[in-house]
Structure 1
């Protein structure tokens, strides 16, 4: 059998399907979850402010409790891990750490670092909260897709789930007001093949070339 880690990106993309039946006894170590997340957060983000945060559910009882607020979806309890992706609507508060890190790594000079920090602190706090939430949601989509492809490249299966009670999630897990839940991603080993799907013909989705 070919090592999944040697597959091309094109193969990984074509082989990734949403799986809803998982082997409930299969486990993924916290170390490997962290490795996948470390790779996923290389995704791009607006002003590099990285407005994504993660909550990882691996404990059996914790997943069972989460299932109750996730429309009773079986995979929430049977997958090896559920990774909740949250958005940071106050992402600008990370600006100094982000740009100082780039400066210390030698990626920019001090003057540029200072300019970027000051401009971000002028702009983002005055942007309406709804706009900041839209930015965080867009960037969370990038990191989520990257995470699912990374998982598939390692031989795991995934499914993203937007169908859960977000208000109840916030209440139950005492999520700080700065953050808001966006999507749950199940990660594990498939116990049954995914349902295959088709895509619209490319000519139906390209509006025009100019």
Structure 2
């Protein structure tokens, strides 16, 4: 086996360990804090996730002060991880992310990934398409991309030794009101992040033949 093959095998095993070890943790060590610098690194690595037309509509509101976590607690139906975790990351979807198309494709030109005339064409087409989408379609796109970034964020956290739990159980109306979230943003989910005080419960999965089908769906 070549050195490259050996390295790839080690990396692959490490990646699968991350997948296996990620669990939804609800009991956190409240003494553990994640620095702003490391939090930014975690989020930056998470943003390597794919998105529709690479518009990267995810936005993160990181709630890490005791006062604001207490404010969030009743909105999240008094789930204790809200206050005990190092932070709660609110994953938001920007339905006006097309407004950053010029910056995004401009970066691609500067990095040598795309000719300038191609980028200009992409910008015009992207802005024209996304700015005219029906609201429900725009929301669906940011929810899809928000799900992709959320999973990537949780895997990045596990790879760095942190634990997470995705939270859909909160009052979204009260959340956007309490934290001043404008209508430009859709609240996708909350993710608590920190160090587990108690491991997440092991869970099972359906056998693959119950969920995967080739070429045609089974008859009901």
Q: Name the counterpart of 1:56.
A: 62
1:69–1:168 CA contact under 8 A, matched in 2: yes
Max radius of gyration: which structure? Answer: 2
Between the aligned partners of 1:68 and 1:195, the Cα distance in structure 2 is: 24
Q: Are 1:195 and 2:195 counterparts?
A: no
Where in structure 1 are there 5+ consecutive unaligned residues? none
Q: 1:22 to 1:6 in 2, by over 3 A?
A: farther
CA distance in 2: counterparts of 1:58 and 1:121, whole angstroms: 35
Is 1:103 the counterpart of 2:103 in the alignment?
A: no
Partner of 1:47: 53
CA deviations 1:140-185 (Å, max 9, x no partner) are 1111111100110111110000111111111111112211211000
- Residues 1:10 and 2:16 are matched in the alignment: yes
- Can you give the 5+ residue segments of structure 2 that lack an aligned partner in the other structure? 1-10
CA distance in 2, matches of 1:179, 1:159: 22
* Partner of residue 4, structure 2: none
User: How many residues end up aligned between the 2 structures?
Assistant: 206
Question: Equivalent residues in 2 for 1:179-190 (5 A)?
Answer: 179-190=185-196
- In the aligned structure 1, how far is the partner of 2:56 from the partner of 2:24? 26
Indicate whether 1:158 and 2:164 are aligned. Answer: yes
Structure-1 residue corresponding to 2:8: none
CA RMSD in angstroms comes to 1.4
Deviation at 1:6, TM superposition (A): 10
Q: How far did residue 193 of structure 1 move?
A: 1.6
- Distance in 2 (CA, whole Å) between partners of 1:91 and 1:154 is 29
Contact 1:7 1:153 in 2 (8 A): no
Please, which moves more after superposition, 173-182 or 128-137?
173-182
Rate the CA distance shift 1:6–1:59 in 2: closer, same or farther, 3 A. Answer: farther
Deviation at 1:206?
0.8
Deviation at 1:192, TM superposition (A): 0.8
CA contact (8 A) 1:67 1:77 kept: yes
Matched, 1:80 2:86: yes
TM-score by length of 1: 0.95
- Quote the residue 1:65 is aligned against: 71
Structure 1 stretches of at least 4 aligned residues deviating more than 3 Å after TM superposition: none
